[in-house]
Chains A and B, each alone.
Chain A
């Protein structure tokens, strides 16, 4: 390496590390330990985002967590989020009330390659709390429905009580635009009258033509890996399978080093990656 002159570019207008105040306009309990929030900025600005991007959500004095954008809940001026309470920050979000103020940074990340999906059959495969980031794509597909081939949403949960967005899923499955299939792992014929078992089993029930199919997957990492193995067997190309990845994130701007996955900064280069890109690192334990 050769010593070079240091050159600095002009200042960006405002700090990317400073949260903006958002108000919780509406909150609903989805199921045990999972809540959905509609939040709006206190200062007027449009809530633009790309499906698959995420926000950093700050709770006063508690801390910050990465939360995917599940959409804007049908309102340009809002963000729609779904949060599962698993630790200090997410529990504080669960306990927040309507009209409470949160600090929001973002949106961050690359998002799903929606452009690439046009003319193709689409499989959206979600496991558990992996549904919200995929949910954000649905309005985009519906708005331009004729651009895409067959679209299937395959969703796996542990028990029937864990199903998120029940009403929305029901009305979506009534239409012809998107085929919705739900698999419940722990259920009996009495508690669930649909597919019982793993979300992977749903793939065989979906309609798609492997050479021109694009797949977006979000769920626990082992589930995503098995998903990829199954899809590869169907003949879907590695570069057409996309995962949304999770790691510890502190800054979301590619600076703090926490989200590294091999050479990738998940926050800046991701969180969405093609299987092709991450395969070399995916099977290395504790990378």
Chain B
């Protein structure tokens, strides 16, 4: 677990020694999950060696658009968030909850005791780290505490890579979630690259992190390294054009359930659920019961669910949210307003995924801005 006293501990790792970090993680028995180049995007996958990283690649993102592009340099982490996040590993899309045996009319329930993979996440962005902290609220506290989630989370070794660029869909500055992660990680890297040098500034966030890098050939930090790293972060900030005005945002939603903009967005949204699928904080799930052909064994599975489906709010008398308007409104008002009442924080970290991957290019920051126009109560 990260410890504050290490926050100030910094070291330098040269690019040519980067592979040794991967070796050290493997030696500790971690399965490394990090950015990999798939055909059309940078996604998350298993990293065997540094050559699996998207070296020299970046991406261009706009509402409804994602495109891979070569970089002029050989940066390892020179891209913006892809469609996947840690969520799929910490909160797997499908998990068995239990099996039931039926023998002589008796039922025996056997709880699933899942094997917990020891993951090291490499290249976690600040927004995604905040998204995990949000999911922790749901899955590690109170009645909704999920033992398997907590074990996965405790095992997970988190290596942040601080952002050196941002896409046109990023708005973490508005949400207070980036671009620089200040804590909650084991290690945080800032990739510093120009014509003369290529190195990583490492911030140590935990004892575990300190121990892991103890065998690496590290150098002490010089003043100019810190300045370089600061410029990297400043660059990400300077590139960020998208903003969301979050002032009084809960009241904005709570007083505008019938705003005409909901009809407008409903005429564009096709209720495909992509935004909830890519969102790193969306946590809804459902139960699937099944039975074996012999009628002797049944299973229960937990799987991701999406508030864009009619079934989601199914009652015997019909779906509570039968219109797309009500389902879009449920999604956005939950994310940005009711989440605050439920968990004391916003459900959005400003990663911009829902904007990039929406097939019709709906931009939540534009929707919020439109709600502020002709809003029933002046909340600005």
A residues whose Cβ falls under 8 Å from a Cβ of B? 1-9, 11-12, 15-21, 42, 58, 60-64, 86-87, 90, 99-101, 103, 220, 246-248, 250-251, 253-258, 260, 262-263, 265, 268, 280, 284-287
CA distance A61 to B254 in the complex (A): 41
B114 to chain A, nearest CB (A): 12
Of residues 268 through 289 on chain B, the ones whose CB sits less than 8 Å from some CB of chain A are: 283-287, 289
B318 to chain A, nearest CB (A): 11
Determine if A284 and B138 form an interchain contact, defined as CB atoms under 8 angstroms apart.
no
Q: Given A60-B291, A255-B285, answer yes or no on A101-B2 (Cβ-Cβ < 8 Å).
A: no
Cβ-defined partner of A18 (8 Å) among B111, B142, B313: B111
Is the CB of B207 closer than 8 A to any CB of chain A?
Answer: no
How many residues of B sit at the interface, in one of the four size bands?
35 or more
Contact with A along B126-154 (1 / 0, CB 8 A): 10011001001011111111110010011
Determine if A260 and B338 form an interchain contact, defined as CB atoms under 8 angstroms apart.
yes
Determine if B346 and A1 form an interchain contact, defined as CB atoms under 8 angstroms apart.
yes
Contact with A along B220-232 (1 / 0, CB 8 A): 0000000000000
CA distance A268 to B342 in the complex (A): 11
CA distance A144 to B258 in the complex (A): 47
Determine if A3 and B102 form an interchain contact, defined as CB atoms under 8 angstroms apart.
no
Cβ-defined partner of B175 (8 Å) among A1, A12, A253: A1
Q: Cβ of B176: which chain A residues have Cβ within 8 Å of it? A: 1-2
Q: Cβ of B150: which chain A residues have Cβ within 8 Å of it? A: 8, 11
Q: Cβ of A1: which chain B residues have Cβ within 8 Å of it? A: 130, 133, 175-177, 345-346
Q: Given A101-B106, A101-B107, answer yes or no on A248-B320 (Cβ-Cβ < 8 Å).
A: yes
Determine if B257 and A284 form an interchain contact, defined as CB atoms under 8 angstroms apart.
yes
Contact with A along B324-350 (1 / 0, CB 8 A): 011000100010011001100110000
Stretch at the interface among B48-56, B181-189, B364-372: B181-189
Q: Given A255-B144, A257-B305, answer yes or no on A103-B109 (Cβ-Cβ < 8 Å).
A: yes
Determine if B130 and A287 form an interchain contact, defined as CB atoms under 8 angstroms apart.
no
Closest chain B residue to A12 by CB distance? Answer: B145
B132 to chain A, nearest CB (A): 8
A6-B184, A18-B111 given. 11 additional CB < 8 A pairs? A5-B4, A8-B150, A61-B291, A87-B316, A248-B312, A251-B287, A254-B143, A255-B146, A256-B286, A268-B144, A286-B326
Q: Cβ of A61: which chain B residues have Cβ within 8 Å of it? A: 100, 289-291, 295, 298
Q: Cβ of B153: which chain A residues have Cβ within 8 Å of it? A: 6, 8
Is the CB of B314 closer than 8 A to any CB of chain A?
Answer: yes
Is the CB of B60 closer than 8 A to any CB of chain A?
Answer: no
Determine if B2 and A5 form an interchain contact, defined as CB atoms under 8 angstroms apart.
yes
Cβ-defined partner of A5 (8 Å) among B138, B183, B258, B346: B183
Determine if A258 and B100 form an interchain contact, defined as CB atoms under 8 angstroms apart.
no
Contact with A along B85-125 (1 / 0, CB 8 A): 00000000000011010100111110100000000000000
Determine if B144 and A254 form an interchain contact, defined as CB atoms under 8 angstroms apart.
yes
A18 to chain B, nearest CB (A): 5
Contact with A along B163-207 (1 / 0, CB 8 A): 000000000000111000111100000000000000000000000
Q: Cβ of A285: which chain B residues have Cβ within 8 Å of it? A: 326
Q: Cβ of B325: which chain A residues have Cβ within 8 Å of it? A: 286
Determine if B312 and A258 form an interchain contact, defined as CB atoms under 8 angstroms apart.
yes
Is the CB of B240 closer than 8 A to any CB of chain A?
Answer: no
A85 to chain B, nearest CB (A): 10
Q: Cβ of A7: which chain B residues have Cβ within 8 Å of it? A: 1
Q: Cβ of B4: which chain A residues have Cβ within 8 Å of it? A: 5
Is the CB of B322 closer than 8 A to any CB of chain A?
Answer: yes
Cβ-defined partner of A86 (8 Å) among B307, B316, B345: B316
Determine if A250 and B183 form an interchain contact, defined as CB atoms under 8 angstroms apart.
no
Is the CB of B373 closer than 8 A to any CB of chain A?
Answer: no
Determine if A21 and B183 form an interchain contact, defined as CB atoms under 8 angstroms apart.
no
